[in-house]
Chain A
């Protein structure tokens, strides 16, 4: 696979380039740096901890803001830690929530140890079995293009598992102050 693997930051840039007023929750580690690097916005909430919570945070936000597209961008390790959340979301099928897992099959923040997704576990099949109305795995540029078209159209509970190379692009660090991020985000939404 080597050279043809998708690059995480280019993937996130492509997914978010036409985001308009969409809301983004980023999971701790590289996804937070990726979102900060390519799509900085007051409508982003960057997690630096609470591992396993990104998906549910997106669900809570999607329930509170049913008219906006809520996008969770997280890593495979983070998503695995909250795997039960996929069942909770599948049972409710919010039409404005998209879960994007950037799957490099490793725990990038802690020394690139292999994750379950590099050991045969199919998280996309889990999401489909949990009742996500769209669950697809993306490994090529062409598949990414298909996934991007219509990505921001609501009406489906989406799960995208995007295989990316285990590179570590330069860290772009957004605020680590969770209170500041909360206030900025809520002001942007008019809920503060």
Chain B
């Protein structure tokens, strides 16, 4: 499966999961999803100044009856920590797709501290975490995350591994 195809498949399950709002801080690994959202008149996308904004964005949307989802890089998970208390206190359905850094073939050592604690931080904050290592599993895992979150009022994070996403290209 080509990289375009798995990301299209993920976008398709986001659509079929009735997600109407995507909050994001840009990341190269999410670029295709962001472009799909921007090209889709039926999807509202919001670029945020920090990932922390996404937690109350989703919370407010859900109070108003709208399903939403967040896209962020592993470093952004650390920016959310106290705000995640909103999800846990109110038992809000929440889905976060996280592109991983600081692991496979990482070029930038500054990515390692947060990348290596992302899963543990999310779990300590009460999130259920699924990790995707292969393109073939991506859409199914995101679909399961959406079903899990909105059927059971839980926070679910899907970590997209750096090995699957591919090495960051530093020179074009």
Chain A interface residues toward B at CB < 8 A:
23, 25, 45, 47, 49-65, 82, 84-85, 87-88, 91-92, 178-179, 181-182, 185-186, 189-191
Contact = CB atoms under 8 A, between A and B. Distances in A.
A45 B44 contact: no
Given A49-B86, A60-B56, 17 more contacts: A45-B63, A49-B82, A53-B52, A53-B53, A56-B54, A57-B59, A60-B63, A60-B68, A62-B60, A63-B44, A63-B61, A64-B21, A84-B49, A85-B53, A179-B91, A190-B65, A191-B64
B49 A56 contact: no
Interface of B: 21, 44, 46-50, 52-66, 68, 82-83, 85-86, 89-92
Contacts of B83: 50, 52-53
Which among A25, A59, A84, A92 has the highest number of chain B CB atoms within 10 Å? A59
Contacts of A49: 82, 85-86, 89
Contact of B47 (A59, A60, A63, A91): A91
B116 to A, nearest CB: 26
B64 A63 contact: yes
Contacts of A84: 48-50, 53
Nearest to A92: B46
Nearest to B52: A52
A82 B6 CA distance: 35
5 contacts: A50-B82, A63-B44, A82-B53, A178-B90, A189-B64
Nearest to B53: A56
Given A56-B53, A182-B90, A50 B63 contact: no
A182 B66 contact: no
Nearest to A68: B64
Given A53-B83, A61-B60, A182 B65 contact: no
B86 A85 contact: no
Given A57-B59, A85-B53, A179-B90, A65 B64 contact: yes
Contact of A64 (B60, B86, B91): B60
Contact of B57 (A45, A56, A65): A56
Given A57-B56, A60-B59, A88-B53, A182 B91 contact: yes
A189 B66 CA distance: 12
Contacts of A178: 86, 89-91
A148 B91 CA distance: 35
Contacts of A63: 21, 44, 46, 60-61, 64, 66
Given A84-B50, A88-B53, A179-B91, A56 B60 contact: yes
Nearest to A66: B64
A56 B56 contact: yes
Contacts of A87: 49
Contacts of B49: 84-85, 87-88
Nearest to A180: B90
A45 B89 CA distance: 13
Contacts of B60: 25, 56-64
